[in-house]
């Protein structure tokens, strides 16, 4: 991905040098510690428990040293976020007929607090609708590569794009309506709605990738393969198998590897938001 030397977003809130107390992300259904870490570190966190105030114990964070790798990661995120701002402003103008109000991205290291509960290494990247902010621990890119086998700068960009896609859903009123229905539904039905939310975000991420290439020519050979590999590595079925757990589809909250790849590819090939209506689709 071609990103060095390009415009950085100003919608960055850098908390990396601040220590804080944060509530640990808990209540993630029946998943075990390994699944929590895997899902958390690669944006597979289900933020509904946080929204419902079901956080776990407090996590202490002291002021952390900012390394050169942290600074490079922060620069990369700022450039990627800037790309999403221009891309979605263009898409909203053409396909929605309304202005796009971009989110703020909070960079932290260790732990911090959000209106949706605690943000920590275990909670991983997530989007908090009441604040219209995405939260990202700058250490997670290393975890992506070393623990999940999802390395590459475009795989990391896909993660940022996925969280921004949740903001797009929020801007359109989709996220609030879907989460309201989830809160009123039995667990299995709530999980099924969550899957559709996440797959639509994957589809929107594909649209972002297509439009970024059209506007900036930023994609390089192998970039889409990196994103597809990342989607495969964080499918609910793959995470369960890698953690030695039985695959139980009724517990899925984000979709299988094949589904996540399919909806990202659909968005990339189409570029049309109407083709990302996972809620009306009979076949995910």
pLDDT at residue 120 in the model? 76
Predicted TM-score (pTM) of this structure:
0.83
pLDDT band at 274 (very low <50, low <70, confident <90, very high): very high
- Mean pLDDT over 110-132 rounds to 85
Mean pLDDT of 17-24: 47
With pLDDT > 70 as the criterion, what percentage of the chain qualifies? Answer: 81
Q: Beta partners for 120?
A: 111
Q: Is the dihedral of CA 118, 120, 124, 125 positive or negative?
A: positive
Find the angle CA(11)-CA(274)-CA(130) to the nearest 5 degrees: 35
- Average confidence score pLDDT of the chain: 82
The mean per-residue pLDDT over the stretch 90-105 comes to 97
Per-residue pLDDT band at 173 (split at 50, 70, 90): very high
What pLDDT score does 21 carry?
Answer: 40
Residue 146 lies in a domain: yes
Residue 64 is predicted with a pLDDT of 66
For position 122, what pLDDT does the model report?
Answer: 63
Assess if residue 195 is contained within a domain: yes
Q: Which domain holds residue 172?
A: 12-273
**More confident: 43 or 31:** 43
Q: Considering the domain boundaries, does residue 163 fall inside one?
A: yes
pLDDT of residue 244: 86
How many separate domains does the chain show?
1
In a domain, 66, yes or no: yes
Q: Please check whether residue 5 lies inside any domain of the structure.
A: no
Q: Is the pLDDT of residue 273 over 90?
A: yes
Is residue 23 over pLDDT 70?
no
The verdict on residue 179 lying in a domain is yes
Digit-coded pLDDT (tens) for 231-270: 888 888 888 887 788 888 888 889 999 999 999 999 999 9
- Candidate ranges 17-31, 56-70, 110-124; pick with highest mean pLDDT: 110-124
Q: Is residue 283 part of a domain?
A: no
pLDDT at residue 25 above 80? no
Please tell me the distance from the alpha carbon of residue 44 to that of residue 198, in angstroms, as a whole number: 9
Q: 145 Cβ partners below 8 Å, 6+ apart?
A: 151, 152
Residues 89 and 83: beta-carbon distance below 8 Å: no
DSSP state of 92: I
Q: Is the pLDDT assigned to residue 69 strictly greater than 90? A: no
Residue 32 has pLDDT above 70, yes or no: no
Is residue 4 situated within a structural domain? no
159 within 8 A of 42, measured Cβ to Cβ: yes
Q: What per-residue confidence (pLDDT) applies to 59?
A: 39
Of residues 191, 10, 20, the one with CA closest to residue 120: 20
């Amino acid at each position: 991905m071609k990103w060095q030397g390009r415009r950085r977003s100003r919608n960055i809130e850098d908390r990396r040098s601040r220590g804080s107390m944060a509530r640990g992300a808990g209540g993630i259904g029946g998943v075990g510690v390994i699944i929590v870490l895997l899902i958390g570190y690669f944006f597979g966190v289900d933020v509904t428990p946080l929204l419902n105030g079901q956080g776990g114990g407090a996590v202490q964070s002291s002021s952390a040293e900012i390394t050169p790798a942290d600074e490079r990661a922060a620069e990369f995120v700022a450039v990627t976020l800037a790309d999403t701002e221009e891309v979605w402003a263009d898409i909203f103008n053409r396909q929605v007929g309304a202005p796009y109000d971009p989110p703020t991205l909070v960079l932290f290291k260790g732990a911090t607090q959000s209106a949706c509960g605690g943000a920590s290494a275990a909670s991983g990247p997530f989007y908090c609708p009441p604040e219209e902010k995405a939260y990202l621990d700058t250490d997670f890119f290393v975890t992506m590569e070393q623990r999940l086998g999802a390395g590459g700068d475009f795989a990391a960009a896909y993660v940022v794009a996925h969280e921004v896609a949740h903001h797009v859903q929020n801007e359109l009123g989709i996220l609030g309506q879907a989460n309201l229905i989830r809160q009123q539904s039995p667990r299995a039905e709530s999980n099924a709605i969550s899957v559709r939310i996440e797959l639509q975000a994957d589809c929107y991420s594909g649209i972002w990738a297509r439009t970024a290439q059209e506007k900036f020519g930023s994609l390089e050979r192998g970039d889409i393969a990196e994103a597809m590999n990342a989607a495969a590595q964080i499918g609910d079925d793959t995470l369960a198998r890698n953690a030695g757990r039985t695959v139980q589809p009724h517990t899925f909250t984000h979709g299988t590897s094949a589904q996540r790849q399919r909806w990202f590819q659909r968005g990339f090939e189409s570029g049309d938001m109407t083709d990302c209506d996972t809620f009306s689709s009979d076949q995910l």
